[in-house]
Amino acid sequence: MSLPMKNSHVIPVKPRKAVLPHDTESIRSLLKYIDLSIYPERGDVENPDDQWFICEEESGIIGCVALRRTTGEVRHIVVLPAYRRKGIGRQLANSAIEYLRKVGYSRIWGQIRVNNEDSQRLFESLGFKRVPKPMTSRKNPEVKLYKYILEF
C-alpha cells in the first residue's frame, strides 16, 4: 500500500534490514530522539521478537523502524531531525508494512502518543485507522496513546 510521497524534497533511500549486532549502537543513538519510558525493554534493540529496518546515507544511519513479529506491531519510527519531512519515515513504515504483510498478517497496528500529530498524520496517510478512544499507557498513567490499525 505504498503511497506516493508529496514532498518535493524527498530523499530517495532504500530501507534495509538491520544487521545486529553490527547496527545496534547506531539504532540506539537514534532512539534518544523518542521517549522510551513507557516501553518495558527501554531500548532493547536486540529483542528477538523485533525486526529493524534502517535508512542510511554516507554519514551513517538516518532513520529506523522496528516491527514486532509476534504481534504485528509497527514501532519506533525515528528519523534524525535534519532528515525529517523528506519521506524517510514513510519509506521505513512501508518496509515494515510490506514485511508484516509478506509473513502473513492481514491486520497490523501501532500506538502513537496523542500529542504526536506528525506520526498520526503519517499513519493515517498510510491507511491506518485510529481507534477513537485514547488508551492509557500501562507503564505511565500520564501518557495517553491512540491505537492505529491497518487491515489489508
Residue range 130-146, pLDDT digits in tens: 999 999 998 889 999 99
pTM of the model: 0.89
Q: Which helix (H) or strand (E) holds 54?
A: strand 50-57
pLDDT at 70 over 80: yes
Residues 6 or more apart whose Cβ sits within 8 Å of residue 24: 45, 46
Helix, strand, or coil (residue 25): helix
Rounded Cα distance, 80 and 30, in Å = 7
What was the pLDDT predicted at 5? Answer: 45
What was the pLDDT predicted at 61? Answer: 95
Q: Which helix (H) or strand (E) holds 91?
A: helix 88-102
- Identify the band that residue 2 occupies on the pLDDT scale cut at 50, 70 and 90: very low
pLDDT at 4 over 70: no
Question: Can you give the residue ranges of every domain in the chain?
Answer: 16-151
Helix, strand, or coil (residue 125): helix
Query: Exposed/middle/buried for 151, CB within 10 Å: 0-12, 13-18, 19+?
Result: exposed
Indicate the fold that domain 16-151 takes in CATH: Aminopeptidase (3.40.630)
Q: pLDDT tens digits for 82-92?
A: 999 999 999 99
Q: pLDDT tens digits for 14-24?
A: 999 999 999 99
What was the pLDDT predicted at 44? Answer: 80
In angstroms, the Cα distances linking 7 to 43, 46, 83, 97 are 30, 33, 12, 21
